[in-house]
Amino acid sequence: MSSAGVSRTEQKERTRRAILDAALTLAEDGGLAALSLRQVAKEIGIVPTAFYRHFASIDELGLSLVTEAFDALRALLRDARAIPEETDSEWDLAVSIADKSIDAVVAHARQSDRQLRFIARERLAGPAAVRDAVRHQLELVERELATDLAHLPFTRAWSASDLAVLSNLLVNAMLSHVEELSRATSAADTRRIADTARRQLHIVLVGALRWDSSK
């Protein structure tokens, strides 16, 4: 135990956490691919060699950020996809799901904005290993959502491929909405973005009521 009452293990974990937080912040400007370990080390006041005690490379650091970011995304989707037990009609059910989804997006955009922006950005512009990891995690998330969607009354006769398309559409829409909401500069901006997102989901899900996979 050190004189400050912090064990070596605790100090190591604090440094690791500081590296992750610094990388998440610095990557906001140019993305993870433009980030160097020297930048991260300088940001938190450690020598570059100390970085290697925690991560072998920026790619390995990025993979840890992917894991954390998807914890945040799964929490969002867990809140968004809670299916109401009782509704008067399939129309009401579709509207209720859309409303709950946007409420969840607004809440998580405040709590996990950097992590969710990280996913939206790095799936297209990150290092190859990080892009692959994000793509793989998104596929898993979309499969989980497709399984839940299959239990809705109006999708029970849908094909697996159509459920996958709807799931992909909803996940991508949520990431887009989160990115917009996290950059809102006022309460009025947040309301405007949320209202537009809500209307988009109403259109998508109400339209899904009339979809027939057999045609």
- The pLDDT tens digits for 161-175 are 999 999 898 888 888
Domain end marker among 36, 55, 74 = 55
112 and 18 in a common domain: no
Same domain, 115 and 40: no
Question: pLDDT-based confidence at 1, cuts 50/70/90?
Answer: very low
Angle at 84 between CA 82 and CA 90, to 5 degrees: 120
Q: Do the beta carbons of residue 41 and residue 47 sit within 8 Å?
A: yes
Q: Which residues contact 107 (CB under 8 A, 6 or more apart)?
A: 79
pLDDT tens for 9-40 read 888 899 999 999 999 999 988 889 999 989 99
CB proximity list for 14: less than 8 A, separation 6 or greater: 6
CATH number for the domain harbouring residue 37:
1.10.10.60
Q: Is the pLDDT of residue 207 over 50?
A: yes
Sorting pLDDT into bands at 50, 70 and 90, what band is 80?
A: low
Nearest-angstrom CA–CA distance, 124 and 145:
22
Q: Give the amino acid at 85.
A: E
Averaged pLDDT, 54-65: 92
Task: Determine the Cα–Cα distance for residues 206 and 201; give it in Å rounded to an integer.
Answer: 8
In a domain, 107, yes or no: yes
Hey, what are 27's tokens? 């990557």
Question: Tell me, what DSSP letter sits at residue 84?
Answer: -
Percent of the chain with pLDDT over 90: 29
Considering the entire predicted model, what is its pTM?
Answer: 0.78
Burial of residue 21, with CB atoms counted within 10 A of its CB: 0-12 exposed, 13-18 middle, 19 or more buried: middle
Work out how many domains the chain is built from and give that number: 2
pLDDT of residue 83: 61
Model confidence over 120-162: pLDDT tens digits?
888 888 899 999 999 999 998 889 888 888 888 888 889 999 9
- pLDDT value of residue 84: 59
CA distance 36 to 20: 13
The amino acid sitting at 142 is: E
Residue 89 lies in a domain: yes
pLDDT band for 81, please (50, 70, 90 cuts).
Answer: low
Enumerate the H helices of the chain as residue ranges. 8-30, 37-44, 48-51, 58-80, 90-111, 113-125, 128-149, 160-182, 187-208
Going by the DSSP 8-state scheme, the letter that residue 103 receives in this structure is H
Pick the more confident residue, 212 or 91: 212
- Domain residues for 17? 1-55
Contact 176, 120 (CB under 8 A): yes
Query: Same structural domain for residues 4 and 79?
Result: no
The CATH number of residue 127's host domain is 1.10.357.10
Q: How confident is the model at residue 67 (pLDDT cuts 50, 70, 90)?
A: very high
Token code pair at residue 141 = 């998330």
Query: Is the alpha carbon torsion for 103, 69, 152, 146 positive or negative?
Result: positive
Q: At a CB cut-off of 8 Å and minimum separation 6, what does 129 contact?
A: 59, 62, 63
Are 106 and 35 in a shared domain?
no
